[in-house]
Amino acid sequence: MEKTIAINAGSSTLKFKLYEMPEERVISSGAVDRIGIPGSNFTIKTTDGKKVEIDQPIENHEEAVDLLLQELIKLDIIKDYNEITGVGHRVVAGGEIFEDSALIDDKVLKEIEDLKEYAPLHNPANATGIRAFKKILPNITSVAVFDTSFHETLPEKNYLYSIPYEYYEKYGARKYGAHGTSHKYVSQRAAKIMGKPLEDLKLITLHLGAGSSITAIKDGKSFDTSMGFTPLAGITMATRSGDIDASLVVYLMEKLNITDPEDMLTILNKKSGLLGLSEISPDLRDIIDAADKGDKKARTAIDVFVNNIVKYIGSYATEMGGLDGIVFTAGIGENSVPMRKEITSKLGIFNVKMDDVLNQERGERFINTEDSAVKVMVIPTDEELAIAREVEKFKKMGD
Ligand code: AMP
């Protein structure tokens, strides 16, 4: 039985899901955390519910991959490495180079590394994961799946910033978006449950997690999206600021005596968003609890978050010239009953009506009332499955 592994490598983490393909059966999943940091640990789950946790020093991604493969054998999930015939790596930035997923060779790997300025927190880590697998399993089908590829269809009017055009031409200064694999996956599922071709629908997909982004999907393609040149732009996120006036960045650097722009970026990426506003936590659950107990800053953080989202929905519906469906996905979108309620309650102008009972249920479903003018859906995202499917596509091409 052929197996494909989907990998999401961060700077100190490596998450994985192992599939039996083409059945798309998950046979194991897990993560290595704190790679190269004291307190490294490894968690692996099997489908029969067994969970193994290992605490041991894991110095680098190669060691992480080694440990992962050894455990798959020890736990009898695979008999030997040859059973894994494909690996798909999530890569955040593909720039204008990668309109689609790509079979990884030395040239592709170099291009991913060269795109590090477009996603400084992500691309170098993604490349490290790729190199680790290449070294240990050099002969399997290895595919890079880019978060930006789905957004390659953005029209010029939606990806250009109003800055001198030559900066776009010379330096690639434009919007690329992110979370494309998720937006694509949930929009395809939405069309399926709506029983209509995706090409005939105007959808807005809300990927609300630790990182959050909103995409307008028209004619089956990404038409506009909230993240920008990097995943820092768009709506308020757990620790990222989202959209901000560029002059404010310069002003704050002066006020805070910051001379290294990287320090300012750290504030905007790691200390802002819901955490920065609430001064409590980056986790919306903690903020909702605090707001329920009367904490004013927590309430304000939620108000800013919700208002950001409905502003994007309003503008995207306007630029698409209509709206057939809204999809909630990712950690907050899939799990937060009160956030879905707050957001939809502000969309009366579109005649969006949510069913409170359906909102409480779980799994893929509609949550709108019969008489709502717009369908509202909760669709759990599955980026790993989408990645594994991309690997299958390349395997078939090679057959
Ligand atoms: P993700 O990035 O998609 O894994 O989502 C993780 C985020 O989802 C975390 O920052 C949590 O704050 C948020 N989250 C998960 N469950 C809930 C929930 N029930 N209510 C509010 N936020 C949640």
Per-residue pLDDT tens digits for 286-317: 999 999 999 999 999 999 999 999 999 999 99
The predicted structure's pLDDT at residue 353: 98
Q: Do domains 3-146 and 196-383 have the same CATH topology?
A: yes
> Which DSSP state fits 41?
E
- Which residues surround ligand 1 with Cβ inside 6 Å? 209-210, 238, 282-285, 330-332, 335-336
Q: State the fold for domain 3-146.
A: Nucleotidyltransferase; domain 5 (3.30.420)
Those residues with Cβ within 8 angstroms of residue 170's Cβ, 6 or more apart along the chain or in another chain: none
Examine the residue annotation and report whether 371 is marked as an active-site residue of this protein.
no
Tens digits of residue pLDDT in 168-195: 999 999 999 999 999 999 999 999 999 9
Identify whether the C-beta of residue 142 lies closer than 8 Å to the C-beta of residue 133. yes
* Beta-sheet strands, E only, within 308-371: 325-329, 365-366
3-state helix, strand, coil in the chain (%, to 5): 45, 20, 35
Residue 265 has pLDDT above 70, yes or no: yes
Average pLDDT score, the chain? 95
Q: Residue written as tokens 């309003």?
A: 314
H/E element holding 299?
helix 296-320
Banded model confidence at residue 6, pLDDT cuts 50, 70, 90? very high
Identify whether the C-beta of residue 300 lies closer than 8 Å to the C-beta of residue 277. yes
Which one of the listed residues 66, 106, 147, 245 is annotated catalytic? 147
Residue 399 has pLDDT above 80, yes or no: no
Those residues with Cβ within 8 angstroms of residue 153's Cβ, 6 or more apart along the chain or in another chain: 221, 222, 223
What is the rounded distance in angstroms from the CA atom of residue 113 to the CA atom of residue 92?
A: 11
340 is in an annotated binding site: no
Atom of ligand 1 nearest to the CA of 208: 3
Q: Which residues are 146's β-sheet partners?
A: 91
The domains of the chain are located at: 3-146, 196-383
Distances (CA, A) of 252 to 62, 230, 255, 356, 386: 40, 20, 5, 43, 41
Question: How would CATH label the architecture of 196-383?
Answer: 2-Layer Sandwich (3.30)
Residue 373 has pLDDT above 70, yes or no: yes
30 is in an annotated binding site: no
Those residues with Cβ within 8 angstroms of residue 17's Cβ, 6 or more apart along the chain or in another chain: 5, 6, 26, 28, 29, 384, 385, 388
What is the rounded distance in angstroms from the CA atom of residue 149 to the CA atom of residue 93?
A: 9
Nearest to 298 by CA among 267, 277, 318, 268: 277
What's the whole-number mean pLDDT along residues 199-226?
97
What number of other Cβ atoms are within 10 A of residue 50's Cβ? 11
H/E element holding 29?
strand 25-33
Distances (CA, A) of 399 to 77, 141, 392: 26, 11, 11
> Which DSSP state fits 162?
S
Which of 207, 285, 302, 381 has most ligand 1 atoms within 8 Å of its beta carbon, as the pocket-test mutant? Answer: 285
Q: Residue written as tokens 């308020």?
A: 236
Gap from CA of 282 to ligand 1 centroid (Å):
9
Tens digits of residue pLDDT in 62-95: 899 999 999 999 999 999 888 999 999 999 999 9
Identify whether the C-beta of residue 234 lies closer than 8 Å to the C-beta of residue 356. no
Sheet holding 375-378: strands in order across?
221-225, 212-218, 202-208, 325-329, 375-378, 365-366
What number of other Cβ atoms are within 10 A of residue 38's Cβ? 6
